[in-house]
Chains A and B, each alone.
Chain A
């Protein structure tokens, strides 16, 4: 047994190796921990401050992780720093996967805390009661750049409240992307939906089916609503009342459902019912698909893959014409909202205005993905945009020129010919359109039954939002 003198000797002795390891580990953990928790502790890396300047505050922005990483890098490391220094504001942009935007927004609203500006991939009109109207900055930008595009206006303006609930920032046209060699081999044209209906079996026969999604994801929503427009099967009218179950709208919707059912049965495969937003990209890039509707991420990914045979064979076209019109939804409508609980509203507004005024650089950096909501943001408007896209160096030379035509003439907002109301947003967020098309394609319903069931649900949603005074 140790006596008192032994204990004294032990206490006064130098650190043992074991002690050193224990204390060293604890110290390293403490240092690491506090170093990694900058804002809640006395860590190493607190928020950056601009030298010799009094900050006007912080600005937190949430937006998607752009499919062009270089765009986000430029935005985060160059653009916002430059703007922040010029305005004495510490700007921080957080990026998330686009599929998680709505759930993140919902959690921020529930917590009544979050970013000052929140960017959505499609018009988030169901959040109207949570946001600050932005009529003042819309007017300010319009004064400087001229009128905004119709797609931007109808996506963000609520005629009932007479408010712009969101600030339209950018939109991406939704071209058809196709493998030219496959279509030539099968002798298929994409001029009309009827052409595609007839050509789909031929494309499937050569081993390259058509890829049009009917799944709970945004690409399917956009595409299927577009198909309805082409056949005159509008969900709502210009006054934003649900009309799909009535008259020519019902007839057009039934025709659109029949066309999609035929294309699926003869020219597609079951996978389209389980697609995510990325699936058509992946199937196309893997060489399986002959036709897909998507923003230019497919064509750009093909170019970036280094597979020149695939990239050169990937061509763009406008949406096929239907018996009523040739018109498609935007693929992405970038809308910023400013939450009521935003902490730095003034800086947020200035940021949005300045960004739109300087959108030419955003358009270029995004690889012509982000078209400006105000075409006047690019001096010369669509004429200049056409010149720029025509100069894209990828083969076939000039393949992106059609993008300008689509953006200018054939792109509209969800809910056309009306506005993107909360009713339309909820119909999109609850995936009623792909579900209707899928059930008809699978033979679970006739097209007429599908339209009737859809109209009932849409009317119920309409009544809900009417009671809330937003339609």
Chain B
């Protein structure tokens, strides 16, 4: 790459990166702001200010951990994080368990109607939760799962499995049939061929499903809010807007901290597996 090409690349990427990183920076600054600093519109919102609005390099003396402490000590935030993690892990497990064989069967065994069935399954993913939450609410009640994380573990696969099946189906199609045939000729059963040959090659697709399904669980609001009403059983997506917006008062610093904390590991996870993630999404694009 020439210097000119490099410069052009950075000229595009750097402003874009700053733009995307800005919300993180803003949340980070705000979460440690004092009420006095935050409430004064003449103060810069991007820095820590003294009472007169001046900036000092020892900015930590003008910040406070009071609101983060409030979040961890006076709300159920640590429980929401744990609940989110548990629901996410369980749903990812269920999703993989159901979507992998389904995706494989549709890609390899279903013949001509496999593609149509795949599209049909994907369409289920597009049915909005705003339509479904009322009837599902009744179902959850009948199953006596109200106010339980099990309600989310039961319902979330209804939108993660269709998407994951469709995604994996496309991915499995990119894997040459010959590899599997060779394993079968060597005496492997179809399950063994799937386990030993297909799955290791499909790792980017599986990883994409893991990250995507987990992100959907973290972000989902309507079911989390409707099925669970006790604060200590909530996940972050429902707990934060419920407990940190009180009446018509927003607890801004705590809100910022609450949203930033789960966002950081997710962002790191995306970054760490970015190449595989892209590969997973684009794997079936041309088949």
Please list the residues of chain A having a beta carbon within 8 angstroms of any beta carbon in chain B: 29, 32-33, 36-37, 39-40, 62, 64-69, 72-73, 92, 94-98, 100, 104, 106-107, 110-115, 219, 276-278, 280-282, 285-288, 294-295, 297, 301-302, 304-307, 310
Kindly state whether residue B183 has any CB partner on chain A within 8 Å: no
Q: Does B137 contact A (CB under 8 A)?
A: yes
- Ordered by A's residue number, 8 sampled pairs between the chains whose C-beta atoms are within 8 Å are A29-B89, A37-B148, A111-B138, A112-B141, A115-B229, A288-B41, A297-B247, A310-B39
Task: Please determine whether B250 and A282 come into contact, CB atoms closer than 8 angstroms.
Answer: yes
Partner of B242, one of A96, A107, A219: A96
How far is A277 from B36 in the complex, measured between Cα atoms in Å? Answer: 23
Instruction: Please state if A278 and B226 are interface contacts (CB–CB under 8 Å).
Output: no
- Are A65 and B36 closer than 8 Å at their CB atoms? no
User: B270 interface residue, CB < 8 Å from A?
Assistant: no
Judge whether B4 is part of the interface by a CB distance below 8 angstroms. no
In the complex, B29 has a CB within 8 A of chain A: no
Residues in A whose Cβ lies below 8 Å from that of B133: 107
Q: Give chain A nearest CB distance to B140 CB in angstroms.
A: 7
**Are A110 and B248 in contact, with the CB atoms below 8 A?**
no
Q: Given A65-B245, A219-B248, A281-B249, decide whether A95 and B86 contact each other with a Cβ distance below 8 A.
A: no
Known: A100-B225, A110-B137. A66 touches B247 (CB 8 A): yes
Distance between A4 CB and nearest chain B CB, rounded to angstroms: 19
Report chain A residues within 8 Å CB of B226.
Answer: 104, 107
CB pair A304–B35 under 8 Å, yes or no, is yes
A-chain residues with CB within 8 Å of residue B141 when the two chains form the complex: 111-113
| Distance between Cα atoms of A430 and B40 in the complex (Å) | 36
Q: Which of A107, A115, A310 is the most central at the interface, judged by chain B CB atoms within 10 Å of its CB?
A: A107
B29-44 contact mask (Cβ, 8 Å, vs A): 1 or 0: 0000011101111100
Q: Is the CB of B137 within 8 A of A307?
A: no
> Which of A62, A67, A95, A306 lies in contact with B249, CB distance below 8 A?
A67
B124 contacts A by Cβ under 8 Å: no
How distant is A434 from chain B, measured CB to nearest CB, in Å? Answer: 16
Cross-chain contact A94 with B229 (CB below 8 angstroms): yes
Most buried by A among B82, B133, B147: B147
Which residues 110-164 in B have Cβ within 8 Å of A in the complex? 133-135, 137-138, 140-141, 144-150
- List the A side residues contacting B259 at CB < 8 Å: none
C-alpha gap A29/B40 in the complex (Å): 46
B149 and A37: CB pair below 8 A? Answer: yes
- B243 interface hit (Cβ, 8 Å): yes
Q: A69-B74, A100-B225, A307-B39 are in contact. Are A32 and B82 (CB under 8 A)?
A: yes
Which of chain A's residues have a CB closer than 8 A to the CB of B82?
32, 36
Q: A173 → chain B, closest Cβ, in Å?
A: 15
Measured CB to CB, the residues of B under 8 A from A are 34-36, 38-42, 74, 79, 82-83, 86, 89-90, 133-135, 137-138, 140-141, 144-150, 225-226, 229-231, 241-243, 245-251
Cβ contact within 8 Å between B242 and A95: yes
Nearest-Cβ distance from residue B246 to partner chain A, whole angstroms: 4
* Complex contact B248–A277 (CB within 8 A): yes
Contacts of A276 in B (CB 8 A): 248
Please measure, in the bound complex, the distance between the C-alpha atom of A32 and the C-alpha atom of B79, giving whole angstroms: 11
Q: Beyond the given A33-B149, A95-B231, A95-B242, please list 19 additional residue pairs across the A-B interface where CB-CB is below 8 A.
A: A33-B90, A37-B149, A64-B247, A65-B246, A66-B246, A97-B241, A97-B242, A98-B248, A104-B225, A107-B133, A110-B135, A110-B137, A110-B138, A111-B134, A115-B229, A280-B248, A287-B40, A294-B248, A305-B39
A-B pairs, 8 with minimum CB distance? A67-B247, A113-B141, A305-B39, A278-B248, A306-B36, A65-B246, A111-B141, A305-B35
- Shortest CB-to-CB span from B171 to chain A, Å, is 25
**Does the CB pair B249–A286 fall under 8 Å?**
no
A100, B36: Cβ atoms under 8 Å? no
Across-interface contacts of A304 in B (CB, < 8 A)? 35
Q: In the complex, how many angstroms separate the beta carbon of B144 from the nearest chain A beta carbon?
A: 8
Contact between B148 and A94 (Cβ–Cβ < 8 Å)? no
B36: which A residues are within 8 A, CB to CB?
305-307
User: Min CB distance, A411 to chain B, in Å?
Assistant: 18
B221 to chain A minimum Cβ distance, whole angstroms, is 10
| Given known contacts A64-B247, A98-B247, A307-B40, A39 and B147 CB-to-CB distance under 8 angstroms | yes
Q: Which residues of B contact A294 (CB under 8 A)?
A: 248
- The complex places the Cα of A96 from the Cα of B241 at a distance, in Å, of 9
Interface centre among B35, B41, B246 (most CB of A within 10 A): B246
Say yes or no: A40-B148 contact (C-beta < 8 A), given A111-B140, A294-B248, A306-B34: yes
Within 8 Å CB of B41, what residues of A?
A: 286-288
